[in-house]
């Protein structure tokens, strides 16, 4: 997934995307949810799940960049991920991963065992 979105590391503002997955975890949609500033992006859970429901998704990958180039999650990233994970559990559309893109790599919540 990192390779497909690696160019986000060049953006000067945060961009938050969802990647909708079908029952076989194949991509069935990609949606830009929010474009913010150099250090923040407002993400409304209703917008995240609106596009997922319309795409008939069975799972989601959350993905955003850090214009600073450092992919370490902020406290806000951790909080948002927990909130969206709860929403996904209620709707039956689980969050499979949340990936943060940086200049020299990425951070995966799933790989870190946070999801």
Per-domain residue ranges for the chain?
2-108
What confidence tens digit (pLDDT) does each residue in 31-50 have? 999 998 888 889 999 999 99
- Spatial strand order of the sheet with 27-35 comes to 27-35, 15-21, 59-65, 95-102, 105-108
Query: By C-alpha distance, which of 14, 32, 5 is closest to 76?
Result: 14
Longest dimension (CA), the chain: 35
State the pLDDT at residue 39: 80
What confidence tens digit (pLDDT) does each residue in 55-107 have? 999 999 999 999 999 999 999 999 999 999 999 999 999 999 999 999 989 99
pLDDT band with cut points at 50, 70 and 90 for residue 2: low
Decide: 31 and 21 in contact? Cβ < 8 Å: no
Decide: 26 and 45 in contact? Cβ < 8 Å: no
CATH of domain 2-108: 3.40.140.10
Q: The whole model's pTM is what?
A: 0.91
Distance CA 91, CA 49 (A): 8
Assign 66 to helix, strand or coil: coil
State the pLDDT at residue 30: 94
State the pLDDT at residue 104: 84
């Amino acid at each position: 997934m990192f390779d497909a979105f690696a160019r986000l590391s060049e953006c000067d503002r945060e961009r938050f995307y969802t990647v909708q997955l079908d029952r076989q975890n194949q991509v069935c949609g990609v949606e830009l949810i929010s474009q913010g500033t150099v250090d923040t992006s407002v993400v409304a859970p209703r917008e995240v799940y609106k596009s997922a429901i319309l795409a008939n998704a069975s799972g989601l990958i959350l993905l955003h960049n850090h214009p600073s180039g450092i992919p370490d999650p902020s406290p806000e990233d951790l909080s948002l991920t927990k909130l969206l994970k709860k929403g996904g559990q209620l709707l039956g559309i689980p969050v499979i991963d949340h990936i943060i893109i940086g200049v020299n790599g990425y951070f995966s919540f799933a790989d870190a065992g946070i999801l």
